[in-house]
Structure 1
């Protein structure tokens, strides 16, 4: 059963809500009204309850906005029990109520931002949606505007594995109050200018071990053949070639993301190593550090951009990524 607050609002505006549902059925012939009813119970009711407690005078308008958006999401198959993206249901049910005060003033903006973020984060291989949700819930009491919500959402999406968000997220973090920016990075009590400078200078800050990315496509991975890698011309990522397909790999301390690219982008990518890097059999040396690789010596290939060393071998479909700093 839905809450008394939600039930009362639906009953008082029954004709209006029914008309909206009828219009949605014309727009979305495949709209499953049973699934919509389930989403009203599981996804809309919790946020209506939260707004009723925080700003009861705004509960009706928030309900109307949420009802309309719910119809569209369920109509597109993005929400409800058969959703393509179950994480969206979780965000409405568990995270949106944390922003009840913002929902009361800008329901479409808040629900739109949270929904778009949920869809995008859950669609990126290797991203960590649950981490993003937990981070957003933790900072919710400090978020005072839609602009801050958008900025902190971008920062936490980067930290949850969307490595290609790095520069945009750092710029967004600079728009936040320093205490909120530091909370988003889990570093309360630090000085934001110093933290920002360190994050900007070193994409691997906080992760000295690097990461491994990729596996055989036949087992659900990314690459049909062991990949070849070159640094991109801008020094921020890697051009990758595998099984006659080409990609752009962006990686940092928080994650690694693969995008489509062209053969021309791979062919034009430079492949020079810094003088601090050398290969000796199955050991790679980065300055004074030495790392023994778990692949046979011979045919190991190295590529480096401004901050990262990428290591590939014909014996594996994985790319080993190590910080240069």
Structure 2
């Protein structure tokens, strides 16, 4: 059952809403009206209630915008019970209501930003969607404008594992009030410029252990064969089977993009002088790390900030910070 406030708005504009639904059925031939009804209850109703409580005079116009957007999302198979990924519905139900003041003023833009972010994050393997949602919810009371919503969404997506957002997220944070930018990293204070300098200089800031990335494609992983890795200025080009990838990684996670054989050929495989192998023991300057890999066929590649470790005995790539 939908709430009384939502039901009243729908009843007062029944002809208008019915006309919108009819037009949507013409545009989206696969639109399932039963699924749409379920999304109205599960996703749209909580947001309408929040806006009605915050700005009653804007509840009607917001509902029209949300109704149209919901029709399109369900029509494209992105929302509703049949959606491939439930995260978008979760964002509407649990996160969007926290932005009711902003939704009341700019319903299409604000709800569109949240929806697009949810769709993008759900499509990035390894992205920590729950972390992004929880951190967005925690900062919601401090987000007052669409520009701030966009910047915080991008910044927190990077922190949730979307590694290729790193430089764009840092640049976007420059537009935020310093205290909000610092708070987005779970820290206190207002010295964003000092934090910014550290983030640019230290991609692995806050993560001294590195990460392990990759698994056998036959078990749902990324690589059909044990990967071979070469370094670029900011990442690594990976060869696995007959496919090539660009791997970007930092303290918050790693992502794969497509690459070419030429890019792999042009990448390098050298390592800094302070990095060496002694059997299965890796020496990083004064540090020694015992690798859980057979000695003799371990391969290393490094860029300015990251060391990649591979072996023909594993489909995983071990990524370690160099500083």
TM-score range, shorter chain: over 0.9
The residue that corresponds to 1:94 in the other structure is 94
Measure the CA separation in 2 of the matches of 1:198 and 1:103.
Answer: 34
Q: How high is the TM-score relative to the length of structure 2?
A: 0.99
**Is 2:290 aligned against 1:292?**
yes
How large is the Cα RMSD of the aligned pairs?
Answer: 0.8
- Alignment coverage as a number of residue pairs: 323
Measure the CA separation in 1 of the matches of 2:80 and 2:183.
Answer: 32
3-state SS of paired residue (2:268): coil
Residues 184-207 of structure 1: CA distance to partner in whole angstroms, max 9, x if unpaired?
A: 110023622111111111010000
Measure the CA separation in 2 of the matches of 1:53 and 1:268.
Answer: 59
Residues 46-85 of structure 1: CA distance to partner in whole angstroms, max 9, x if unpaired?
A: 1111011111111111000000000000001100011122
Measure the CA separation in 1 of the matches of 2:65 and 2:81.
Answer: 21
Segments of 5+ residues of structure 1 without an aligned counterpart are: none
Task: Choose from 307, 310, 315 the match for 2:308.
Answer: 310
The residue that corresponds to 1:268 in the other structure is 266
Measure the CA separation in 2 of the matches of 1:155 and 1:182.
Answer: 11
Measure the CA separation in 2 of the matches of 1:279 and 1:170.
Answer: 35
Task: Choose from 240, 254, 257 the match for 1:256.
Answer: 254
Residues 193-237 of structure 1: CA distance to partner in whole angstroms, max 9, x if unpaired?
A: 1111111110100000001000111111111111000001xx110
3-state SS of paired residue (2:153): helix
Whether the 8 Å contact between 2:182 and 2:192 is mirrored in structure 1 is: yes
Shift of 1:287: 1.1
Whether the 8 Å contact between 2:178 and 2:190 is mirrored in structure 1 is: no
Moved more, 187-196 or 259-268: 187-196
Runs of 4+ in 1 over 3 A off after TM superposition: none
Shift of 1:144: 0.5
Measure the CA separation in 1 of the matches of 2:66 and 2:280.
Answer: 58
The residue that corresponds to 2:278 in the other structure is 280
**Is 2:30 aligned against 1:30?**
yes
3-state SS of paired residue (1:236): coil
- Spell out the pairing of 1:1-325 with structure 2 (5 A cutoff): 1-189=1-189, 191-232=191-232, 235-325=233-323
Q: How high is the TM-score relative to the length of structure 1?
A: 0.98
3-state SS of paired residue (2:30): coil
3-state SS of paired residue (1:29): coil
Shift of 1:260: 1.0
